[in-house]
Structure 1
Amino acid sequence: MQNIIAPSVFGADLGNLKEQLTILEQNNIQWLHVDVMDGHFVEKMAFGPDHIRMLKKMTSLKLDVHLMVEKPERILDAVMDAGADMVTVHQESTARLASCIERIKKNNKKAGVVLSPATDENSLKYVLDQIDMILLMTINPGEAGQSFHPSMLDKIRQTRELCGARDIQIEVDGGIDNTNIALCQKAGANVFVSGGFIFRGDIAQNIAALNEQLN
């Protein structure tokens, strides 16, 4: 599978967002990761359908929208209407996971499921034939000041094995930088979310550093 770096807009300088998005495009980035947080499922609040609509007008990047919200079924339609290209929903956030996946797919969007670090990957076995992506959190979602959890490398390997021959992308998110991205790749991930690392300092150099490790 193709390796994809998905910068997290949560790490960007919103005062210079258009300029930074242009730098991403100039450096062959194809996806932009967008965290939607509700202050309930996670402590922080960030972004929503209006912000997604704004981003859609500002960039040609595909919007990879990660819903860190309780009962995501309440905002799914608004998020998709706003311009999300792919939507990932937390396994832990809803009792209607299969219904959420079905709604996303009916709207011709890519559908994925997110697992927090403590959630067993085997909980996905009954939806594997319906999803396009699995997002594995490598830190606890929405909590500041954390570092990459090395124990998640085993989970990446086990998730890749669980997928078998299915065409499912495995995305990792949380503390991804040039010291661990190759380890995640070797374990079986192919989509890499990075916010703080990419947007800290020279964006182009930071992207090059990640690509160097992947190659």
Structure 2
Amino acid sequence: MSCKVSASVLSADMLNLKAEIDKLCSSGVDMLHFDVMDGVFVNNITFGLPVLEQVRKASDITLDVHLMITDPLKYIGAFADAGADIITFHAESESNISETIKAIKDHGVKASLSVRPSTPVEVVYPYLNELDMVLIMTVEPGFGGQSFIPETLEKIRLLKKTISEIGCCTDIEVDGGINDKTAVLVKEAGANILVSGSYLFTAEKMRDAVNKIKDETRC
């Protein structure tokens, strides 16, 4: 399974977002990871629908939208209409998981479920046949630039094993503290979509950073 890099817009220069998106696309990034935080589910507030709509106009790259909000079901239609290609919501949110997955699918968007580092990965197992992707948070959700939590590797391994046993094709995405070193670890554990922010945007040459994440070891 080929590895993909999803670049976190959270680390971009928002005053020059169009130029940042162009730079990402020309550097071989596969997706843009768009973190939506409501200040309730996590202690931070980030982007909303108007910004996503403008990003969609600026590029046809896959938009990987991560809803860190209390009631994602309420907003699925709006984010789908704004241009999301993938919508991830949290198992810890207040929305019914099955209903939220169905709403995402009904809007023609890929559905993804995420868990915090402290949440057992087993909570996603009943939904694997319905999901296109599972996002394992490798830091606590809410802020960029955090250090990778090594204990999350076992969750990736367990999830990969279960996906193989079931025989489904669910992608495993990881988000938090991903650089050329931690990329090796999460890929060996079974992840195939890697979200990276600070590492990419602080790199002297972004394309080299993308290639290191993708090519350091096989997925």
TM-score with structure 1 length normalisation? 0.95
The residue type equivalent to 1:121 in the other structure is V
Where do 1:9-158 residues align within 5 Å? 9-143=9-143, 146-158=146-158
The runs of 5 or more residues in structure 2 that have no matched partner are none
1:210 counterpart (209, 213, 218):
213
Could you tell me which amino acid in structure 2 is paired with residue 199 of structure 1? Answer: F
CA distance, structure 2, for counterparts of residue 145 and residue 209 of structure 1: 19
Following superposition, the deviation at residue 136 of structure 1 comes to 0.2
Which deviates more from structure 2 when the two are superposed, residues 187-196 or residues 143-152?
A: 143-152
Distance change >3 Å, CA 191–CA 144, structure 1 → 2:
closer
Residue deviations 1:111-153 (CA, integer Å, cap 9, x gap): 0000000111111122111100000000010046631001111
SS at match of 1:39: coil
Deviation at 1:28, TM superposition (A): 2.4
Instruction: Say whether 1:170 aligns with 2:172.
Output: yes
CA shift in 2, pair 1:104/1:195, >3 Å: same
CA contact under 8 A between 2:144 and 2:197: conserved in structure 1?
Answer: no
Fraction of identical pairs, as percent: 36
Give the match's secondary structure for 1:208: helix
Counterpart-to-counterpart distance in 2, 1:214 and 1:32: 22
- Name the stretch that deviates more: 95-104 or 33-42: 95-104
What does residue 200 of structure 2 align with? 198
Give the structure-2-normalised TM-score.
0.94
Q: How far off its partner does 1:53 sit?
A: 0.5
Question: 2 CA distance for matches of 1:140 and 1:23?
Answer: 28
Q: Give 1:2 shift.
A: 1.8
The structural deviation recorded for 1:6 is 0.3
Query: Secondary structure, in 3 states, of the residue corresponding to 1:36?
Result: strand
The runs of 4+ residues in structure 1 deviating greater than 3 Å are none
Q: Does structure 1 residue 179 correspond to structure 2 residue 181?
A: yes
* Gap regions ≥5 residues in structure 1: none
Farther off after superposition, 16-25 or 99-108: 16-25
Number of aligned residues: 215
* SS of residue paired to 2:113: strand
| Higher mean C-alpha deviation, range 129-138 or range 24-33 | 24-33
Q: Secondary structure at the match of 2:180?
A: coil
> Could you tell me how far 1:95 is from its partner in structure 2?
3.9
Contact 1:122/1:162, CA 8 A, preserved across alignment: no
> For the residues of structure 2 that align with 1:180 and 1:170, how far apart are their CA atoms?
15
State the alpha-carbon separation in 2 of the partners of residues 125 and 25 from structure 1: 33
